[in-house]
Structure 1
Amino acid sequence: MGLTSVGIGSGMDINGIVSALVQAESAPKVAKFDADEGKLNAEISAMGALKSALTEFQDSLEKLTDPDTFIARKVKLSNSGFISATADEKAVPGSYKVEVEQLAESQKLGSAPVVDATAALGEGTLVFGVDGEDFTVAVETGDSLETVMQKINDAEDNVGVTATIINGDNGPQLVMTSDKTGIDKQITVTATDTDGGTGLADTFTMTELSAAKDAVLYVDGLKVTSSSNTVDNVITGVSITLTDADLSKSTQLTVSADSDAVKSSVEGFVESYNELMDTISNMSGYDADTKKAGILQGDSMIRSIQSQLRGVLSSSYDSEDGSTMLANIGVKTTQQGTLEIDDKILNSALENDMTQIKDMFSTEDTGLAARLDGLVETYVQTGGTIDSRDETLDNQISRITDSREQLTRKMVSYEARLLKQFNAMDLVVANLSAQSADLTSRLASLPGVVPKK
């Protein structure tokens, strides 16, 4: 007798009963697999968020590990109408008087005027030179002043000549401007006719329209000449750009330590650290409103990170002027484990103790920033602590997957066994029912037996 949905002998829903029994057997195990896998996936997600937060915090340390951050310079000008200026770490703090007599200018040359800028000029070559370099333009039959202008500007080996056509009273002229300023950057033009005529030579007999000039300025009364309007290292570490000239007007240029840049770096460090602590708190804390614990509450790695970071932040650091710590420069730890800045103390430290601040943060290997960077690196580096944790979690999920497959195979076998047992029972019941019916029929046919109505 084949397997049936409803038992022939018993009338029971065998498939329904078997399905319910299999479900009852597997449901608790599947629920546990789901819960365990969900927790593991949540931990993996938390590890990713933690690694990202640690990496962002590590990025905020970059400027603090660089000693140049603490010797940055800034420039203040009494008058911004004549110069702009920047200073690097080599600049010496001080004040300088700057006067601009003349701006550097580029030379301009004009060709002879022509009647028609679209008329053919002749055939030959034009060689243009600037500052010891040159390039050649081939003038072909039919080329006009407009064509030559385009060829000059489009030449890949152009060494710094820009051409344009000015339509003056005497007719169109090709005007060439050197891209470089200064009296040493003058343009030379050599025209050679190859068609037997003199069209090119006549047209490119050049006239100086504007002379090249060097910039002239005075720094504390000392004359400085420059071919460019950007003058570097006349004052050590300072780059000055000239924008206008008037010898009767002076500009006071003051170089000083750029404490604002250092303060910005310290503020960025504090902000990034607090964001890291918020991330860790959300993962490991308890939300009284939702009555839910963070996915990493009680996690030993989280506790270790917090403990190690606090240890580095509370340490004392040696410098040329003695030892110091974060609290001494106005960076203090709150009861919540975050950092806060006392602006008054920090500003005073930046003004009076920059060397100590520099040594505390940027000393190679042993400075605060270097120690924090090294600590974070052990967690975020490829193959580091977080990667190892991820690998462990992935392995646990793989084992759950294996257990699911094993349970599936077990339940298939269990279902088959139950169906076989219930089918056998149904067959017995069917046989008994048949025997009962036969016996009843025989008894009813005996003499003297009155069938029941």
Structure 2
Amino acid sequence: MASSLSVGGLGSGIDVSGIVGQLMEIERQPLSALDKKEASFQAEISAFGSLKSSLSTLQNAIAGLKVPVGGNALDFYSTYKGTLSDEGIASITAGDGTVPGNYSLEVTQLAKENRLISAAGASIGTGELTISLGSADGSTTTRSTTVSIGNGSLTSVRDAINGANAGVTAAVINGDAGPQLVLTANEGGSNQFISLSGVSGLDYSPATPTANFTEQQAPQSALIKLNGVTIESQSNKVTDALEGVTIDLKKATEADTPVTLTLTRDTSSINKALEKFVSAYNEYNTLVRDLGGYNASTEKAGTLLGDSALRGADAKMRSMLSSVPAELAGMDKKTLSDIGISIQKDGSLKLDSAKLDKALAADFAGVAKVAAGYGRSMDGIITGLIGSEGMITGKMTGLQDSITDIGKQRQTLERRLESTEARYKAQFTALDTLVSGMMQTSNYLEQQLASLANLNKK
């Protein structure tokens, strides 16, 4: 820190401030050197930060290849899709357990829910209403719920039923004839007929219908044939006809006109995971070349040109790509090249989609194991570089420690410079005072000598 003392010549003509300023410029050269060194360290920290971020992005991309501990590569990558030759008939969802193949599907009828409409203007009593779901003849009951209907108004009946989780939904519709209660079973199926008992005006049995309700829609199950096998479902969502497959029915097929259900393994998942990996690795590779290379056209060196940590980190990455993971040794497919990923001269990766598709078609399990093997290996390498104890993390910590040390050196140097500047100013101020005094003495002597000469002339 510069001193606030500023002294010019007191009469001698010596430029004390100018001389001290020039001397201090020389004295401050070590401080400038520290500033340059700190700027260099900061640039390296920024460069390693970019490298660490790029490796983190790559590790996130590898997550799509890394099979969980104890998992199976084939299961991890296996996703399926189902299609129909007529998508208007149903939609297909395929999941775990699906077996690829083609099936003939006929939809004889869709499932329907039982729906009842109360008579307009009916007088309703109060008390406990029992709501039952079962067969039409009443011989089988699948569900029975008793609710208190309160004051006997249609709205209180509606609210009581909807709040009872009875498997029936109630609504009040205000039509031309007045308010009417509409009851709809929550599920379709031949065992979902609604029966009511216990309250006058609301009694109803599908076996012996009364005037209290009109059946607006009779319940029925969905009926389908899969490869000629008849399947009955209580709803239009058929989940147990084929393992892992859900068939959401939309409409019936024409008589004796089945549609084709096709179940295939969906390779898009592993394709996208490998594409993401290659893209992220190439971004990393480009960054490494920029940080550690020299551009002859611009005559500009990368920030980390010659840095041993950068060279070491990149050597680990390249070595891993060209090596065979331990779990793949002895397998038919064991290298990235085997699944269509080749290493280019500049260190980047190139994915041959046609070769990958061919490999997937011939040996999906083999491709899955290669992807998982390299995913695991690269994840471990990256963790060893950017983890809390990683090489790059340690390098950045060391650089930051060096900057902290420079800060301490700067404080010590600035205190010494302040003392040096004060000493220079004191020395040159004393010199200025001495010279000024000598000049005054010289002037006095000149005056005295001149006076003696004048006396001699007289």
- SS where residue 324 of structure 1 aligns? coil
Deviations 1:96-121 (A, max 9, x none): 11111222233333334249xxxx99
Deviations 1:253-286 (A, max 9, x none): 1222223333232222222221221122222222
Please show how residues 175-254 of structure 1 align to structure 2 within 5 Å. 175-184=182-191, 206-246=213-253, 248=255, 249-254=257-262
1:285 and 1:294 in contact (8 A); partners too: yes
- SS where residue 113 of structure 2 aligns? coil
Aligned equivalents of 2:149, 2:18: Cα separation in 1: 96
The one of 100, 105, 110 equivalent to 1:103 is 110
- SS where residue 56 of structure 2 aligns? helix
Residue 25 of structure 1 corresponds to which residue in structure 2? 27
Residue 90 of structure 2 corresponds to which residue in structure 1? 83
1:319 and 1:359 in contact (8 A); partners too: no
Aligned equivalents of 1:289, 1:134: Cα separation in 2: 85
2:103 and 2:260 in contact (8 A); partners too: yes
Q: How big is the shift at 1:375?
A: 0.9
Residue 418 of structure 1 corresponds to which residue in structure 2? 424
Q: How big is the shift at 1:200?
A: 8.8
> What is the TM-score normalised by the length of structure 2?
0.82
Q: 1:132 to 1:401 in 2, by over 3 A?
A: farther
Deviations 1:150-190 (A, max 9, x none): 7877x5x7566544433334222132434444455566667
Q: 1:251 to 1:321 in 2, by over 3 A?
A: farther
The one of 276, 286, 290 equivalent to 1:278 is 286
- SS where residue 39 of structure 2 aligns? helix
Q: 1:30 to 1:211 in 2, by over 3 A?
A: farther
2:333 and 2:339 in contact (8 A); partners too: no
Q: How big is the shift at 1:148?
A: 6.7
Which amino acid is the alignment partner of residue 25 of structure 1? Answer: E
Q: How big is the shift at 1:53?
A: 1.4
Residue 376 of structure 2 corresponds to which residue in structure 1? 370
Q: 1:10 to 1:161 in 2, by over 3 A?
A: farther
Which amino acid is the alignment partner of residue 232 of structure 1? Answer: T
Residue 307 of structure 2 corresponds to which residue in structure 1? 299
Deviations 1:60-83 (A, max 9, x none): 222323312443323232221111
Deviates more, 1:442-451 or 1:42-51: 442-451
Residue 60 of structure 2 corresponds to which residue in structure 1? 59
Aligned equivalents of 1:91, 1:335: Cα separation in 2: 42
Size of the aligned set, in residue pairs, is: 430
- SS where residue 383 of structure 1 aligns? coil
Q: 1:303 to 1:233 in 2, by over 3 A?
A: farther
Deviations 1:365-423 (A, max 9, x none): xx222111111111122332222112111101111111221121111001110111011
Deviations 1:279-299 (A, max 9, x none): 222222222332211112222
2:443 aligned with 1:442: no
Residue 7 of structure 1 corresponds to which residue in structure 2? 9
Which amino acid is the alignment partner of residue 25 of structure 2? Answer: Q
Q: How big is the shift at 1:8?
A: 1.4
Q: 1:163 to 1:436 in 2, by over 3 A?
A: farther
Residue 195 of structure 1 corresponds to which residue in structure 2? none
Which stretches of structure 1, 4 residues or longer, exceed 4 Å deviation after superposition?
A: 120-140, 143-153, 157-163, 183-192, 198-202, 204-207
Which amino acid is the alignment partner of residue 272 of structure 1? Answer: A
Q: 1:263 to 1:135 in 2, by over 3 A?
A: farther
Residue 208 of structure 2 corresponds to which residue in structure 1? none
Aligned-pair Cα RMSD in Å: 3.4
The one of 412, 434, 438 equivalent to 1:428 is 434
Aligned equivalents of 1:137, 1:39: Cα separation in 2: 82
- SS where residue 410 of structure 2 aligns? helix
Deviations 1:130-150 (A, max 9, x none): 87486967756xx96567767
- SS where residue 174 of structure 2 aligns? strand
2:7 and 2:425 in contact (8 A); partners too: no
Q: 1:152 to 1:312 in 2, by over 3 A?
A: same
Which amino acid is the alignment partner of residue 375 of structure 2? Answer: A
Deviations 1:37-73 (A, max 9, x none): 2221222122222122112212222232331244332
Which amino acid is the alignment partner of residue 385 of structure 2? Answer: Y
Aligned equivalents of 1:206, 1:411: Cα separation in 2: 104
Q: Identity of counterpart residues, as a percentage?
A: 34
Residue 404 of structure 1 corresponds to which residue in structure 2? 410
Q: How big is the shift at 1:123?
A: 7.8
Aligned equivalents of 1:255, 1:80: Cα separation in 2: 14
Q: How big is the shift at 1:344?
A: 3.1
Q: How big is the shift at 1:93?
A: 1.9
Aligned equivalents of 1:190, 1:300: Cα separation in 2: 87
Aligned equivalents of 2:36, 2:54: Cα separation in 1: 27
Which amino acid is the alignment partner of residue 342 of structure 1? Answer: D
The one of 338, 352, 355 equivalent to 1:345 is 355
- SS where residue 65 of structure 2 aligns? helix
Deviates more, 1:319-328 or 1:49-58: 319-328
Which amino acid is the alignment partner of residue 37 of structure 1? Answer: E
2:332 aligned with 1:326: no
Aligned equivalents of 2:427, 2:130: Cα separation in 1: 105
Deviations 1:339-369 (A, max 9, x none): 112333222211112232122222xxxx222
Residue 139 of structure 2 corresponds to which residue in structure 1? none
Deviations 1:177-229 (A, max 9, x none): 3444445556666786xxxxx79999x95544323332221111112122232
Please show how residues 113-124 of structure 1 align to structure 2 within 5 Å. 113-114=120-121
1:122 and 1:139 in contact (8 A); partners too: no
Aligned equivalents of 1:374, 1:294: Cα separation in 2: 27
Q: How big is the shift at 1:311?
A: 2.3
Deviates more, 1:86-95 or 1:433-442: 433-442
- SS where residue 235 of structure 1 aligns? coil
Aligned equivalents of 2:148, 2:442: Cα separation in 1: 120
Gaps of 5+ in 1: 193-197
Q: 1:412 to 1:171 in 2, by over 3 A?
A: same
2:203 aligned with 1:174: no
Residue 384 of structure 1 corresponds to which residue in structure 2? 390
2:271 aligned with 1:263: yes
Aligned equivalents of 2:245, 2:330: Cα separation in 1: 28
